[in-house]
Amino acid sequence: DVRVRQAIAYSLDRERIINEVFRGAGYPLNVPWPKNSPAFDESRNTKYNRDIGKAKQLLDQSARPPKLPLTFAPGYGEVAQIVQANLADVGIEVDLDPVDAATFVKQLTGQQFRGLWVTDHSWAQFVPSTLTVSAYPFNARRNASRYESPAYTAAADTAWQLAQGTGPEAVRAYQAVTDQLLEGLFLIEIGVRFQQYSTVNKVHGFAWTKRREPVLTDTFLS
C-alpha cells in the first residue's frame, strides 16, 4: 500500500541523520539528485518533510504493516537505528537486521530483501538519466524492490533517449522521473553525504572518481 510508504517517508528525521551520523557533512533529500544536478528541484525536494501527524493519518487509512526487518551492511548501523526510532514514533515496528557486506550485495542484486533496507547509491552525480539504467536500486526494469511501473519505465526511457542531458527538455524529462519516484516511493531518499578524506601535506596527487572511488595513480609523497 503506497500510503504505508508515504507514512515512512513522512516519519524520517533526515535532518537528525545528517547532523548526528554525518556530522553535518551533507544535506537532506527527498529526490535522488544532488543540488548541483540539472535534475534537482527544490519544490519537489520538500514533499516529504518530517510530519508525524500526516504519517499516522496515512497509517490509519491503510492496513498497518507487521513488524518489518530493516537490513543494513556495516557502516549503516547508526542510520538504521534512527530510522527504527522514527518509525516507532508512528507505530511501525522494525527489527534491525545487520548483515555482512557480501550478504547485503547478494540480497540487493538477487531481489532478496525481506522488508526495509538502508544503503547509499551513486550514479546521480552523472547525467541524471544514467540513474534509472545503471543504479541497481533505481533500475526501471529490474530493481532490488521488485517494483514495476509502466509509467516509471516510460519516464526513464524518455530521459535516457534524449540527445542532450541539459536544457529545458531534459529538465522536464528529469522532473517526470522524479515525480514517478515520489509517487511510487519504492525508494525513499534520506540525504546526500559528502565524501571526505583526511590527508597530510606530504601527500600529493590524490584524486577520486565520480563514483567516490579513490584514485592513487598519480599519488606520491614528498
Query: Mind listing the domains of the chain with CATH numbers?
Result: 2-126+186-221 (3.10.105.10)
Give CA–CA dist 118/149, Å, rounded.
22
Give CA–CA dist 177/128, Å, rounded.
10
pLDDT of res. 64: 85
In sequence order, what are the beta bridge partners of 221? 203
- The residue with cell 507505530 is 91
For the four alpha carbons of 147, 148, 149 and 154, in that order, the dihedral sign comes to: positive
End-to-end Cα, the chain, rounded Å? 59
| Global confidence as pTM | 0.90
| Cell, residue 194 | 559528502
66-103 pLDDT tens trace: 999 999 999 999 999 999 999 999 999 999 999 999 99
